[in-house]
Amino acid sequence: MFSSVHHISINCSDAERDRDFYVSVLGFEQMPRPDLGFPGFWLRIGQQELHLLQVPNHQAPKGQHFAFHVEDIDVARAHLMASGVNVSDPREMSGICRQCFFSDPSGNMLELNQPLAG
């Protein structure tokens, strides 16, 4: 019945600024979006879509996040840090993955996740 997640939608305080971050720093591509009566953007990376929705008085939820699968967390982290993004030190979940965290310009938490060979 359910085969995959079609898209993730997140709220943001400034859709244009956040679109620029997701496109220029994280490598998303902008997709066409109909006029929905409020600012926002539809983005894609691989087969996944991310919908940015600008909302008044946005406050990023604590702890809520989604993760990017990466082959080499150290390379991905260095790319982000070279782009001026503050990224936590990687930590290992024994036998599962290495992970670290950062935030988009609206304060939404994001994760880099490098699965460990099992």
How many Cβ atoms are within 10 Å of 44's Cβ, its own excluded?
Answer: 13
In angstroms, the CA 118 to CA 114 distance is 12
- In whole angstroms, what is the distance from residue 93 CA to residue 81 CA? 22
pLDDT in tens, 2-49: 988 999 999 999 999 999 999 999 999 999 999 999 999 999 999 999
Beta-carbon count within 10 A of 116 CB: 11
Residue keyed to tokens 């080499």: 72
pTM strictly above 0.75: yes
Name the CATH code of domain 7-115 (choices 3.40.50.2300, 3.30.60.50, 3.40.50.360, 3.10.180.10): 3.10.180.10
List pLDDT tens digits, range 59-109: 999 999 999 999 999 999 999 999 999 999 999 999 999 999 999 999 999
| H or E stretch covering 24 | helix 15-24
